[in-house]
Amino acid sequence: MKRLSGKHILLGITGGIAAYKAADLARRLREHGAEVRVVMTNGAKEFITPLTLQAVSGNPIHDDLLDTAAEAAMGHIELARWADAAVIAPASADSIARLAQGRADDLLTTLCLATPATILVAPAMNQQMWRDAATQQNIANLQQQGKIILGPAEGEQACGDVGPGRMLEPNDIAIAVAEQFQHQALTGKRVLITAGPTQEAIDPVRYLSNHSSGKMGFALATAAVEAGALVTLIAGPVAEQTPERVTRIDVVSAQQMLDNVIDNISGQDIFISVAAVADYRVAEVATHKIKKSADEMTLSFVKNPDILTEVCQRGDKPFVVGFAAETDNLIEHAKDKLIRKGCDMIVANDVAKQAQGFGSDDNAVTVVTTDAIQDIPLANKQQIARTLIETIAKAIKES
Contact residues for ligand C5P (CB under 6 A)?
194, 254, 273, 275, 277, 279, 304, 306-308, 322-324, 337
**What is the SS3 assignment for the chain?**
CCCCCCCEEEEEECCCHHHHHHHHHHHHHHHCCCEEEEEECHHHHHHCCHHHHHHHHCCCCECCCCCHHHHHHHCHHHHHHHCCEEEEEEECHHHHHHHHHCCCCCHHHHHHHHCCCEEEEEECCCHHHHHCHHHHHHHHHHHHCCCEECCCEEEECCCCCEEEEECCCHHHHHHHHHHCCCCCCCCCCEEEEEECECCEECCCCCEECCCCCCHHHHHHHHHHHHCCCEEEEEECCCCCCCCCCEEEEECCCHHHHHHHHHHHHCCCCEEEECCECCCEEECCCCCCCCCCCCCCCCCCEEECCCHHHHHHCCCCCCEEEEEEEECCCHHHHHHHHHHHHCCCEEEEEECCCCCCCCCCCEEEEEEECCCCEEEEEEEEHHHHHHHHHHHHHHHHHHC
Beta carbon of residue 201, minimum distance to ligand C5P (angstroms, whole number): 16
Beta carbon of residue 304, minimum distance to ligand C5P (angstroms, whole number): 5
Beta carbon of residue 302, minimum distance to ligand C5P (angstroms, whole number): 12
Q: How far apart are CA 95 and CA 105, in angstroms?
A: 11
Residue nearer to ligand C5P on the CB measure, 218 or 323: 323
Is 159 a known active-site residue? Answer: yes
Beta carbon of residue 382, minimum distance to ligand C5P (angstroms, whole number): 20
Find how far residue 47's CA is from the centre of its chain.
Answer: 33
Residue nearer to ligand C5P on the CB measure, 100 or 321: 321
My answer on whether omega of the bond before 305 falls inside 30° of 0, hence cis, is no
Beta carbon of residue 82, minimum distance to ligand C5P (angstroms, whole number): 27
Beta carbon of residue 351, minimum distance to ligand C5P (angstroms, whole number): 11
Contact 57, 95 (CB under 8 A): no
Read off the amino acid at residue 333. Answer: H
Residue nearer to ligand C5P on the CB measure, 275 or 384: 275
Residue nearer to ligand C5P on the CB measure, 319 or 323: 323
Angle at alpha carbon of residue 207, lines to 205 and 212, rounded to 5°: 135
Of residues 240, 229, 300, 243, the one with CA closest to residue 275 = 240
Residue nearer to ligand C5P on the CB measure, 127 or 273: 273
Residue nearer to ligand C5P on the CB measure, 127 or 268: 268
Which residue is catalytic, options 112, 159, 312, 343?
A: 159
Residue nearer to ligand C5P on the CB measure, 210 or 360: 210
Beta carbon of residue 326, minimum distance to ligand C5P (angstroms, whole number): 8
Residues labelled as active-site residues: 159
